[in-house]
Amino acid sequence: MPGDKSISHRAILFGALAEGETRVTGILDAEDVHSTRRAVVRLGAAIREEGAEVVVTPAEALREPDDVIDCGNSGTSLRLLAGVLAGRPGLSVLTGDASLRRRPVRRVVEPLRLMGADLTARDGDRVPPLVIRGRPLTGARHRLQVASAQVKSAILLAGLGASGETVVTEPERSRDHTERMLRGMGVPVRVDGLTVSVTPSRPRGTRVDVPGDISSAAFFLCAAAGLPGSEVTVRNMGTNPTRTGLLDVLRAMGADLRLEREREVAGEPRADVTVRGGPLRATEIGGEIIPRLIDELPVLMVLATQATGRTVIRDARELRVKESDRLAAMGETLAAAGARVELFEDGCAIDGPTRLGPVTVRTRLDHRIAMSMAVAQLFAAAPVVLDDVACVATSFPSFFTLLDALCGVAR
Ligand code: S3P
């Protein structure tokens, strides 16, 4: 599997802020991470490749970017950079593609303003472009309305350069890669239940080994789980407990799932994960598990069409503000393919099993919609046609090659 996207972004960005070099192995080579790489180079860091390693050399101090920073499709780049740039001198403008320019930024603007930051965004601070006039920040206490690792990370990164203590409390635990990596870089990060705090500190360059991305593996794990006779093993897959909601759901659906060689490297747990196909039953997905599988819900919606009974997903309103409105996109598309889907404001109910029929999919600049519906093709009796698959380069450029290779083995 390609390297974990969330961890890859952080290795580049934190490496650019650190004192001394950061050496990264297993980094994701895909468009979203390229956006972060380009951004930190514009801010004065240097990145070179040495064999299998990507080496980040920080600038003495980040410089004012000489042009607008284009984050492409990447919400993580834009939101984390907002936290970094808010407290440094200079003017920055962050923007992105048509998908990113529809995604909410008030969730970072408001907490950063509370720390004294000067940020303005389009349409009443709702969406990018985001204009940042860097200025000295003061630590503050934040209580987030949504569990978001991007928002939490933006605040913590701002906190590293602010005076005093910065404290963030989330309603549920979101992925904790920032906390783990900053600790690995010598930053004292305190975690107490759902509260994380930092005081001013500069990370130290380190070595990062990026595990395989569970969010990319999800497409193959779900494909195998739903196709009796299939078996897929993903080696060195990240199994950070803040990310493994998918595995819990697969187990609840009755999937045959095995974890081997469980270990921790560079602060991140990982394992070799094998799934075998078999009959699946419906399940209920909601509450604290949602942030632990938020990016896997589109493909889980596909898998739900193959399970016996009514799968219900709740508390997943956040799906509506991802690279596309993923609830609408998946709900409408699966319904068009003949699935029995009822959409709610915060989730859906899917009755299965259903042999899917032909459908033409609008992928909406959303890599996970494209890949989820490519998996749906495996459960369909007729062609699933995707209108645009360039978007898979966001997180998984080799997706179709790998899918073809695995289906070739199956044939
Ligand atoms: C990410 C956090 C999640 C996730 C996104 C990557 C991160 O977003 O959906 O793909 O790397 O921090 P939110 O934190 O906004 O939920």
Q: Is the CB of 174 under 6 A from ligand 1?
A: yes
Question: Closest Cα to atom 13, ligand 1: which residue?
Answer: 148
Query: Are 241 and 366 in the same domain?
Result: yes
Residue 411 has pLDDT above 80, yes or no: no
Q: Is the CB of 148 under 6 A from ligand 1?
A: yes
Q: Which domain holds residue 251?
A: 214-406
> CA-CA distance, 136 to 325, in Å (whole number)?
36
CA of 116 to the centre of ligand 1 (A): 25
Query: Are 131 and 258 in the same domain?
Result: no
**Within a 10 A sphere around the Cβ of 9, how many other Cβ atoms?**
27
> CA-CA distance, 69 to 61, in Å (whole number)?
18
Q: Is the CB of 149 under 6 A from ligand 1?
A: yes
Query: Are 203 and 303 in the same domain?
Result: no
Ligand 1: which of 35, 294, 366 to mutate, judged by most atoms within 8 Å of the beta carbon?
Answer: 294
Ligand 1 atom closest to Cα of 215? 10
- CATH code of the domain containing 78: 3.65.10.10
Ligand 1: which of 31, 32, 77, 148 to mutate, judged by most atoms within 8 Å of the beta carbon?
Answer: 148
Nearest CA to 82 out of 161, 20, 198 is that of 161
Binned at pLDDT 50, 70 and 90, residue 258 comes out as: very high
CA 110 to chain centre: 22
In this prediction, residue 251 carries a pLDDT of: 98
How does pLDDT run across 344-379, given as a tens digit for each residue?
999 999 999 999 999 999 999 999 999 999 999 999
Query: Are 271 and 235 in the same domain?
Result: yes
In this prediction, residue 134 carries a pLDDT of: 98
In this prediction, residue 408 carries a pLDDT of: 77
Q: Is the CB of 6 under 6 A from ligand 1?
A: yes
Query: Does residue 198 fall inside a structural domain?
Result: yes
> CA-CA distance, 339 to 354, in Å (whole number)?
6
Instruction: Give the mean model confidence (pLDDT) for residues 193-200.
Output: 98
Query: Are 252 and 175 in the same domain?
Result: no
How does pLDDT run across 87-115, given as a tens digit for each residue?
999 999 999 999 999 999 999 999 999 99
Element spanning 270, H or E: strand 268-276
Query: Does residue 411 fall inside a structural domain?
Result: no
* Contact partners, residue 28, CB within 8 Å, separation at least 6: 2, 3, 4, 5, 8, 210, 213, 395
Query: Are 203 and 219 in the same domain?
Result: no
In this prediction, residue 376 carries a pLDDT of: 98
Query: Are 236 and 184 in the same domain?
Result: no
Active site residues: 295
Query: Are 247 and 104 in the same domain?
Result: no
Query: Are 43 and 173 in the same domain?
Result: yes
Instruction: Tell which of 161, 180, 209 closes a domain.
Output: 209
Residue 194 has pLDDT above 70, yes or no: yes
- Coil, helix or strand for 83? helix
Query: Are 287 and 375 in the same domain?
Result: yes
In this prediction, residue 2 carries a pLDDT of: 98
Buried b (16+ CB within 10 A) or exposed e, 220-246: bbbbbbbbeebebebebbbbbebbbbb
Instruction: Tell which of 178, 209, 240 closes a domain.
Output: 209
Question: What is the tally of structural domains in the chain?
Answer: 2
- CB contact at 8 A, 22 and 184: no
How does pLDDT run across 233-256, given as a tens digit for each residue?
999 999 999 999 999 999 999 999
In this prediction, residue 293 carries a pLDDT of: 98
Q: Kindly write down the DSSP assignment for every residue of 60-73, as one continuous string.
A: SSPPPPSS-EE-TT
In this prediction, residue 5 carries a pLDDT of: 98
Percent of the chain with pLDDT over 70: 99
The sign of the CA dihedral 351, 352, 355, 360 is positive
In this prediction, residue 409 carries a pLDDT of: 59
How does pLDDT run across 2-59, given as a tens digit for each residue?
999 999 999 999 999 999 999 999 999 999 999 999 999 999 999 999 999 999 999 9
Query: Does residue 307 fall inside a structural domain?
Result: yes
CA of 83 to the centre of ligand 1 (A): 15
How does pLDDT run across 329-340, given as a tens digit for each residue?
999 999 999 999
Instruction: Give the mean model confidence (pLDDT) for residues 106-129.
Output: 98
Query: Are 148 and 170 in the same domain?
Result: yes
Query: Does residue 155 fall inside a structural domain?
Result: yes
Query: Does residue 276 fall inside a structural domain?
Result: yes
Q: Is the CB of 150 under 6 A from ligand 1?
A: yes
Ligand 1: which of 32, 35, 175 to mutate, judged by most atoms within 8 Å of the beta carbon?
Answer: 175
**Within a 10 A sphere around the Cβ of 129, how many other Cβ atoms?**
18
Instruction: Give the mean model confidence (pLDDT) for residues 392-402.
Output: 98
Q: What angle do CA 116, 318, 286 make, to 5 degrees?
A: 125
Query: Does residue 316 fall inside a structural domain?
Result: yes
Question: Closest Cα to atom 10, ligand 1: which residue?
Answer: 295
Element spanning 366, H or E: none
Instruction: Tell which of 181, 209, 237 closes a domain.
Output: 209
How does pLDDT run across 152-178, given as a tens digit for each residue?
999 999 999 999 999 999 999 999 999
Nearest CA to 162 out of 121, 129, 113 is that of 113
How does pLDDT run across 280-336, given as a tens digit for each residue?
999 999 999 999 999 999 999 999 999 999 999 999 999 999 999 999 999 999 999
Query: Does residue 346 fall inside a structural domain?
Result: yes
Query: Are 85 and 113 in the same domain?
Result: yes
